[in-house]
Amino acid sequence: MQGLITTLIVALLAMVSAGETSAGEIAAAAQLARAIESAAQPLHAADVVVTGISDGDTAKVELDGRSVRLRLARIDAPEHQQPWGNRSEQSLRELVWKKLVHIEWREVDRHGRPIVSMTIDGRDVSTEQVRRGLAWVYRAYSLDPELIQLEERAREAKIGLWADPKPVPPWEWRKLKRASDTIQ
């Protein structure tokens, strides 16, 4: 698997240096390489009880005798200071707090949180947050066509955060906040 990843990266670099690719193709190839690298990691799974909710895409569980913060895969929910941030957190709390859930993960984020797929009673929690209009599909990490279609439906129906005429995705909001904090 490591050889396949290396081959993909070398091919991508060769295409870029030859000037034969568009920015979109480069981004898609980079995302594919990340997906392959992620798939090469061992799968971890557990049934756990959710003990806390931090926001619309972050929960705490007891895992192997210790409290662990988890990041939901494929989505990005509004930050607390953003419109709909508190409602997104409340939605996640309604779905999973103090309930038994199944989690699976292959990797951790830069904060050390496992990036998990979480299900409860057969329902994918990330999918439910998007369906409710309380999270964006995090396209830097997911191009799941079904999830993107659910987001489009929520947007068209003006459900949740899509009722706002110009909702700001959390990744853009964080970038603007960092720039603002730097200036001050």
CA distances from 118 to 145, 156, 179 (A): 19, 26, 33
The full DSSP string for 66-134 is: EEEEEEETTEEPPPTTSTTHHHHHHHHHHHHBTSEEEEEEEEE-TTS-EEEEEEETTEEHHHHHHHTT-
Active site residue 178: no
Tokens, residue 170: 């959390």
Give the dihedral sign, CA 138/169/52/95.
negative
Residues, the chain: 184
Coil, helix or strand for 124?
strand
For 38, the enclosing helix (H) or strand (E) is: helix 23-39
Q: Which of 25, 37, 69, 79 is catalytic?
A: 79
- The three-class DSSP label of residue 175 is helix
3-state secondary structure (DSSP) of residue 42 = coil
Catalytically annotated residue among 74, 113, 131, 132: 113
Report, as residue numbers or ranges, the catalytic residues. Answer: 71, 79, 113
